[in-house]
Amino acid sequence: MNQEYMKTRKILPLVLSMSLPMVISMAVNALYNIVDSYFVAKISEDAMTALALVFPMQNLVNAIVIGFAIGINARVAFYLGAKEEKMADESASVGLLLNLIHGLVLALLCSVIMPSFLRMFTGDTQVIALACTYSTRVFAFAPVIGLGLAYEKIFQAVGRMKVSMICMMLGCVTNIILDPVMIFGLGSVPKLGIAGAAYATGIGQCVTLAGYLLFYFARPMHVKVNVANMKTTGNVMKNIYTIGIPATLNLALPSIQVSALNAILAPFPGSYILVLGVYYKLQTFIYLTANGIVQGIRPLVGYNYGAGEYDRVKKITHTSMGLIALVMVMGMAISCAIPQQLMGLFTTSRATMEIGGAALRIISFGFVVSSVSVTFSGVLEGLGKGMPSLLISLARYIVVMLPVSFVLSRLLQASGVWYGFAVTEYIVAVLSYYIYKFHMRDIKG
């Protein structure tokens, strides 16, 4: 398949054609997160709290395999734009092997450290038992996730976004269907409780990987993945890790942030930690949709950068920021209009719904301006500039967010954390603009 259209087609139609399949698949993925949590919440509030405590580690695992896959994506797209097809093949093949190894190592490590990790945030033995039951099973599928995400980014790098959309949707729909069946039992399927939620997630990930393999062999793509291409020099690994490590850290930062915010909220009633966990489930619907646009433009940016089309890189950046801002406006409108109803999906406690409703309204005031940092971070990754992208995320999740939230929580009690989200987005928007401008000096368009 010829990728020349990436540097010849009009910008807006091109960005939409690359982004919309990913926006749809990310929206379905976000819906899965919400539905999964909805069914777990039907078990008990303890089960939902357990899910919230496992979330940071689960997000960390995803961050490592996704971040490295972003490195694969960026290098493959760059080499295709530069007409170095052999290097593109080697990058895809080596990256696939390494991400499988990452998944195996993560599955082992997480099984060992989860009990100690959970005891850092709660002494409730029932919550810890539920969290261990869920995490032990869900992390066993980490190798499958590693392979699936590697294939996802390779297909995206060659412009086959619809394949990525179909495979991701297959997995998510499978998960959504299996959740009530395996959690509550149906027919010959026993009632498995929170363990059923983990199995449903893992089976969905297996279906996604099977979809990629079917497409790869039935309709071969331009980039070849095989054992022969895995026998290469360390230079290929170095190039991938140069982008993949910062991207991994970039994606891992929310896990650190959630754990730190859980610690800040620990002195307050437990409902605040539950609200924070629910918020992170709900906000995935907004930010995963925005991330769909970022995923769509990342190969476009890499390809055009490799082809020397610097002016198109800038136009793609501006167009994508407008689209992401539109998504954020819609997210803010929904969060302000029906916040308590959204919280009511995960709890029957009127007090928790009121706390959560107020939290959503406050946090949503930072949504629109966050489109600046989200866009610039994604574009810099597409250019292979992993470190400046990481700097933006460090500011957003750690350097600005945590001190601001801590100070405001002492001034405004627990609600200060919600204000911390909104205040941080405005500060980081300014910082990300200057980071982006500084690191784009070599782009002459």
Quote the pLDDT of residue 306. Answer: 80
Contact by Cβ (8 Å): 25, 169: yes
Contact by Cβ (8 Å): 302, 384: yes
Quote the pLDDT of residue 200. Answer: 92
The DSSP code for 139 is G
Indicate if the alpha-carbon torsion angle 413, 417, 423, 424 is positive or negative.
positive
Quote the pLDDT of residue 109. Answer: 92
Quote the pLDDT of residue 178. Answer: 93
Quote the pLDDT of residue 444. Answer: 56
* Side-chain half-sphere exposure of 420, counting CA atoms within 13 A: 30
Tens-digit pLDDT profile for the chain (445 aa)? 556 777 778 888 888 888 888 777 777 766 776 777 888 888 888 888 888 888 778 878 888 888 888 888 888 888 887 788 888 888 888 888 889 999 999 999 988 999 898 888 778 889 899 999 999 999 999 999 999 989 988 888 887 888 888 998 899 889 889 999 999 988 888 999 999 999 999 999 999 999 999 998 898 887 888 777 776 667 778 878 887 888 787 777 877 888 899 889 888 887 888 888 888 877 877 887 888 888 788 888 888 888 888 888 889 999 999 999 998 999 999 999 999 988 887 778 888 889 989 999 999 999 999 999 999 998 998 887 878 888 998 999 999 999 999 999 999 999 999 999 999 999 999 999 999 988 877 665 4
The string of pLDDT tens digits covering residues 400-438 is 999 999 999 999 999 999 999 999 999 999 999 999 988
Token pair in block for residue 13: 């139609």
Closest CA to 119 of 111, 107, 127: 127
The string of pLDDT tens digits covering residues 252-307 is 787 788 889 988 988 888 788 888 888 887 787 788 788 888 878 888 888 888 88
Closest CA to 65 of 138, 131, 136, 144: 144
Quote the pLDDT of residue 100. Answer: 92
Contact by Cβ (8 Å): 72, 150: yes
Quote the pLDDT of residue 445. Answer: 47
Within 8 A by CB and 6+ apart from 226, the residues are 89, 93
Question: Is 0.85 surpassed by the pTM of this model?
Answer: no
Rg (CA), the chain: 21
